[in-house]
């Protein structure tokens, strides 16, 4: 089956620093999604990407849909303490019933 | 909108007991997903429904797990009999493609502990 690997698995950064994380797949997806999960909560959708090569921003977050359609990247600029959490990528195939597959997650810790 | 509502938030039960988790999706959404999250396995898709019909249940661990969606506003995930290895956080999520919304919205989850 499809597998999504995220890297890094975890990271500690200083407040104000920029963050980069990525997600790679063994197969192609038509849609990439990025979620953030706070402790004790469900994942919350941050950004959705629909086209290969697409670059989309949401505030300090920027995500890109890789040209090969097998990867995606998420960047967070000028990190703040509330960015702490687990970030998940998710891939989705279009057509049919659009099953969503989640990545392994990147745990982000921000040091004030 | 109230979002996806799950109940209970926490459940502690003894091994062998039946457990029923409940989910109310966002009104108008036509897809519903049940996920299980553990430290070891991350987020696993158990089953998903489209227009109340189960589409893919290949992620359901074994026959002890069953899920139903009797109508568009309610779904249950049942474990009978429960075992300690079923301890996890179970999430329900819904999605409404016809609204151009390609991302699923998650509930707050049910933390299940089987002792």
Question: Which residue, A108, A90, A100, is CA-closest to A32?
Answer: A90
Average of per-residue pLDDT across B102-106:
83
**pLDDT in the model for residue B42:** 87
User: How far is Cα A11 from Cα B39, in angstroms, rounded to an integer?
Assistant: 17
Residue A98 has pLDDT above 80, yes or no: no
- For A54-72, write each residue's pLDDT tens digit: 999 999 999 999 999 999 9
Question: Which residue, B7, B12, B2, is CA-closest to B91?
Answer: B7
Closest approach of chain B CAs to the CA of A74, in angstroms? Answer: 16
The chain B residue lying nearest A47, using CA atoms, is B103
Q: A97 — contact with chain B (CB < 8 Å)?
A: yes
Cα–Cα distance list, B11 to A74, A95, B8, B84 (Å): 35, 37, 7, 13
Residue B34 has pLDDT above 70, yes or no: yes
User: How far is Cα B2 from Cα B26, in angstroms, rounded to an integer?
Assistant: 7
Residue A10 has pLDDT above 60, yes or no: yes
Q: A42 — contact with chain B (CB < 8 Å)?
A: yes
Residue B15 has pLDDT above 90, yes or no: yes
Q: A100 — contact with chain B (CB < 8 Å)?
A: yes
CB distance A31–B31 less than 8 Å? no
Cα–Cα distance list, A80 to A62, A112, B73, B114 (Å): 15, 8, 38, 37
């Amino acid at each position: 089956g499809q597998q999504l690997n995220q890297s890094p698995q975890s990271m500690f950064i200083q407040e104000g620093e920029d963050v980069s994380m990525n997600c790679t797949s063994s197969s192609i997806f038509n849609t990439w999604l990025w979620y953030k999960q706070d402790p004790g909560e469900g994942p919350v959708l941050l950004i959705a990407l629909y086209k290969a090569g697409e670059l989309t921003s949401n505030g300090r977050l920027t995500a890109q849909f890789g040209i090969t359609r097998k990867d995606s990247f998420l960047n967070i600029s000028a990190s703040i303490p509330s960015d702490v959490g687990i970030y998940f990528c998710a891939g989705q195939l279009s057509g049919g019933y659009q099953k969503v597959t989640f990545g392994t997650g990147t745990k982000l810790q921000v040091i004030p | 909108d109230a979002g996806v509502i799950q109940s209970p938030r926490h459940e502690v039960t003894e091994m062998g007991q039946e457990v029923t988790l409940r989910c109310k999706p966002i009104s108008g959404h036509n897809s519903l997903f049940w996920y299980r999250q553990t430290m070891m396995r991350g987020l696993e898709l158990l089953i998903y429904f489209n227009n109340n019909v189960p589409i893919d249940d290949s992620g359901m661990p074994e026959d002890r797990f069953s899920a139903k969606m009797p109508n568009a506003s309610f779904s249950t995930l049942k474990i009978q009999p429960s075992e300690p290895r079923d301890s996890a956080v179970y999430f329900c999520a819904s999605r409404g493609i016809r609204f151009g919304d390609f991302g699923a919205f998650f509930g707050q989850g049910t933390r299940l502990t089987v002792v």
